[in-house]
Amino acid sequence: MESYTYQVRNTLDDPKFKEQVKDADRTSVEKVIKQVTEWLDNNPNAELEEFEQKKKEVEQVWKPIITNIYGSGAGAGAGAGGAGMPNFTDDNPSDSTGGPQIDQID
């Protein structure tokens, strides 16, 4: 979860995207990231469902912004997910980097 918020923050600061993000949107994302980061610091032993809920809170603010940027062509060429771009299709809240996954073996 913490790596997810770092990815969002890094993408937000990426020079390729920085000019494309409106100030109001930037403020909204920074606010939710700050709130979630503080919550994470204060709740290291929270349940998985709580972590998933916090990730959704960030996604609700971030996803429309980044989708709009990619839809306008600003992120073209970065490919699906792009450098530093969080993987929104991954349902695993512990690793949204799109990296290798360990499959559960019965």
Residue 5 has a pLDDT of: 84
Per-residue pLDDT of the chain (106 residues; tens, 9 = 90+): 667 888 888 888 888 888 889 999 999 999 999 999 999 999 999 999 999 999 999 999 999 998 988 887 655 444 334 444 444 444 444 444 444 455 556 5
Residue 30 lies in a domain: yes
Which domain, by its residues, includes 24?
2-71
Number of domains in the chain: 1
Residue 67 lies in a domain: yes
Q: Can you give the three-state secondary structure of the chain, one letter per residue?
A: CHHHHHHHHHHHHCHHHHCCCCHHHHHHHHHHHHHHHHHHHHCCCCCHHHHHHHHHHHHHHHHHHHHHHHHCCCCCCCCCCCCCCCCCCCCCCCCCCCCCCCCCCC
- CATH code of 33's domain: 1.20.1270.10
Residue 16 lies in a domain: yes
Residue 103 has a pLDDT of: 56
Residue 91 lies in a domain: no
Residue 25 lies in a domain: yes
pTM of the model: 0.62
